[in-house]
Amino acid sequence: MRNNRRWFRISLTLLALPLIFALAGANGDGGSKIRWDIQHYPGFVLQPGGEAFADAVDHSRIRFAGSGTFQADGADGNDVTGGGTWETFSVSGALTGSGNYRVVHLVSWHVAPGTLPCPPITDAIAPCADARAGLAVLQIQYSDGSLGKLVVSCHLPVGSPDSVYEGITVSRGFVDYLIAEDPDLTMNGTIFHVVRGDEH
């Protein structure tokens, strides 16, 4: 009889374990996807379709627009989607190139503290509670065949450390557009959202 009880307890534990792990997973972002956006927020309505600029050391510039997704736990760096458009400008401001780019690989993703205050902001991309601050490094391929990396950094208004900047930096070939221009000055910015399983 005592033996039967012991086996019953062991069986119950084994049955409950998957449920415990599933619940634990649901509370974090680990098994989810992250969506990134270069957004804009006219009238404090945060929406896709923004623009961001970064400068090289000689003050030539690159303009980026775009969005995409990647795995939150980074387990498969190739499980990425997205891309957007790019334009490059000379020191004098003349357009020197343009085209599309696509994300080919996630190099790294680190979530940062911070929340989006809704209101006054209305989040038209995803539920406001799913907004995240953080730093994503993505490998990209340009439409002219060149390769580079896109760094998306998001500083949320409430609780993000001052060390976290808002904006992007980009490399294209051997040129690193490493100086992020503050996108908030033109009501543009970056944002990450957790994409829940049923939203995939």
- Residues making contact with other proteins (CB under 8 A): 56-58, 60, 107-108, 110-112, 133-135, 137, 139, 147-149, 151, 153, 155, 161-165, 169, 171, 173-176, 178-180
Q: How far apart are the C-alpha atoms of 22 and 150, rounded to whole Å?
A: 33
Q: What is the nearest approach in angstroms of other proteins to the Cβ of residue 107?
A: 5
Q: What is the nearest approach in angstroms of other proteins to the Cβ of residue 115?
A: 15
Helix runs in 28-168, H state only: none
Q: Specify the residue, 65 or 180, whose C-beta has the smaller distance to other proteins.
A: 180
**Are the C-beta atoms of residues 73 and 30 closer than 8 Å to each other?**
yes
3-state secondary structure of 94: coil
Q: Specify the residue, 122 or 139, whose C-beta has the smaller distance to other proteins.
A: 139
189's tokens:
């910015």
Q: Specify the residue, 162 or 198, whose C-beta has the smaller distance to other proteins.
A: 162
Q: What is the nearest approach in angstroms of other proteins to the Cβ of residue 159?
A: 13
Q: Specify the residue, 73 or 176, whose C-beta has the smaller distance to other proteins.
A: 176
Using DSSP bridges, classify how beta strands 122-123 and 45-48 pair: parallel, antiparallel or unpaired: parallel
3-state secondary structure of 104: strand
Phi, psi of 11 (to 5 degrees): -60, -40
Q: What is the nearest approach in angstroms of other proteins to the Cβ of residue 177?
A: 9
Q: What is the nearest approach in angstroms of other proteins to the Cβ of residue 94?
A: 14
Q: How far apart are the C-alpha atoms of 125 and 166, rounded to whole Å?
A: 18
Q: Peptide bond preceding 119: is omega within 30 degrees of 0, i.e. cis?
A: yes
Length of the chain as a residue count: 200
Q: Specify the residue, 105 or 122, whose C-beta has the smaller distance to other proteins.
A: 105
